[in-house]
A = this chain, B = another copy of it.
């Protein structure tokens, strides 16, 4: 696939240079919207816009935009800002309602309303409803392109409904996996696989043949919870219902996959003290602005470390050799702390660890820490003994590392759990907080021990 993409970029550039627009237009018609999007991402911004305007089918234009939005919002924005409101209205009328809402979400309220007023009235109603929900909830993920049929209809009548429905290209796949069954009030009462329409008797009503055990969510549910439900029950679509069990939308697995990728990226970025927001930032100043708060936190931590070292200056002055092992103590504590906290953060995110299992995880990390503390502590202790030609120095360095590792394992576990209980994203605790805290405790243990034994050490 890689090879293919590269070719597209070159071909696009050649055709643009040669002003060979007709043949480029033909080429676009044969391409998958995802491939068009990927190529637009890799060519010059001015060219992306030119190529985009050559796409004649508004549905394809819309799909290209939504693929771009998932890959890299920058290009999507660049293009959208150069389109007329009429053009955008035509595009959003041709695609799934959730994707239309995502595109509109880029604009400020006023422009959004202006565009919507130009769209088809059905689209207006649907998209406006979707825009009410925060993007990271079930409501923000759902669309309106599902088939909900009254339970009184027969199989034959339902087949006719399926035959008449015209839906945007991508919505189709999901719409015809499950048909949702509702009662007269619109309450969700069951579902039916499309295959059942082929198998069941023509005259049976949906009520007679539907499956009544149906998993659904309410629109307020967080998208992380939605993805957990999809993973747990191996779903392809999930109906969204209001408090009274009236069907209001449907979530499809393709959007959930994007959520899973995004949430993992967000966690990974936050663990090292930044945010996946920086993916959308072109300005390096804004990127630095996202990272700086966490770096400054770390910087404050290291200045605390400096303060601790200063307060132990008499000890250090007497036994300069103690200085040599400072990086060893802090780095090992930091590493173990990050391991434990990362395991807890990821475990909480995937549901592998639940809050009530905290103690067993802590206990496990402590036992692992014990083993690693003994291993690393003995090695560094022996090295210190040999280098300093002083057994007590070896003992101090080795046992400090042992304790620093134990404390780090414990803090690495407890910090994300505490954050989670305080309803703060545990991912942000993993990097800056845990490493800084472990640097400080490591130094305190090491220099405290050395100072208390200083008279034997000199």
A residues adjacent to B (C-beta < 8 A): 1, 32, 34, 38, 67, 71-72, 159, 162-163, 170, 172-174, 176-177, 193-195, 197-199, 213, 215, 225, 229-236, 253-254, 256-258, 260-261, 264-265, 267-269, 271-274, 278-279, 284-285, 287-288, 291-292, 294-296, 298-299, 301-303, 305-306, 309-310, 313, 316-317, 320, 323-328, 330-332, 334-336, 338-339, 342-343, 346, 350, 352, 364, 367-368, 371-372, 375-376, 379-380, 383, 387, 431-432, 435-436, 439, 443
In the complex, what residues of B have CB within 8 A of residue A71's CB? 352
Contact of A330 among B197, B327, B346 (CB under 8 A): B327
Please give me the residue from chain B that is nearest to A260 by CB atom. Answer: B260
Excluding A309-B326, A323-B326, 12 further A-B contacts by CB distance (< 8 Å) are A34-B234, A162-B198, A162-B199, A230-B257, A236-B253, A253-B257, A269-B342, A284-B367, A295-B376, A306-B325, A316-B323, A331-B334
Q: Which residue of B lies closest to A232 (CB)?
A: B34
B288/A368 in contact, CB under 8 A = yes
Number of copies: 2
- 13 chain-A/chain-B pairs, Cβ below 8 angstroms: A67-B232, A159-B198, A162-B199, A194-B194, A260-B260, A264-B264, A265-B350, A269-B342, A272-B342, A296-B376, A299-B379, A305-B327, A306-B383
| A339 contacts across to B, CB distance below 8 A | 272-274, 291
Knowing A320-B317, A350-B261, the reply to whether A331 touches B198 (Cβ < 8 A) is no
Asked whether A303 lies within 8 Å of B328 as measured between CB atoms, the reply is yes
> Main SS of the interface on chain A?
helix
- Smallest beta-carbon distance A341→chain B, Å: 9
**What is the chain B residue whose CB lies nearest that of A231?**
B257
A302 and B332 within 8 A (CB): yes
Of B193, B215, B235, B350, the residue contacting A172 (CB under 8 A) is: B193
Check if B372 sits within 8 Å of A332, measured CB to CB: no
| Given A71-B352, A231-B261, A265-B346, A364 contacting B331 (CB threshold 8 A) | no
Whole-angstrom CA separation of A281 from B279 in the bound complex: 35
Q: Tell me the minimal C-beta distance from A295 to chain B in angstroms.
A: 6
**Cα distance A293–B367 in the bound complex, in angstroms:** 17
B327 and A302 contacting across the interface, CB-CB below 8 Å: yes
Q: Which B residue's beta carbon lies closest to that of A351?
A: B71
Do the beta carbons of A432 and B310 come within 8 Å of each other? no
Q: From residue A282, how far is it (CB to closest CB) to chain B in Å?
A: 9
Residues on the B chain within 8 Å of A213, using CB: 32
Q: Establish whether residues B299 and A332, one from each chain, have CB atoms under 8 Å apart when the complex forms.
A: yes
Contacts A233-B32, A264-B264, A298-B335 hold; do A352 and B72 have CB atoms under 8 A apart? yes
Tell me, in angstroms, the Cα distance from A261 to B349 when the chains sit together: 10
Bound CA span A349–B334, Å: 25
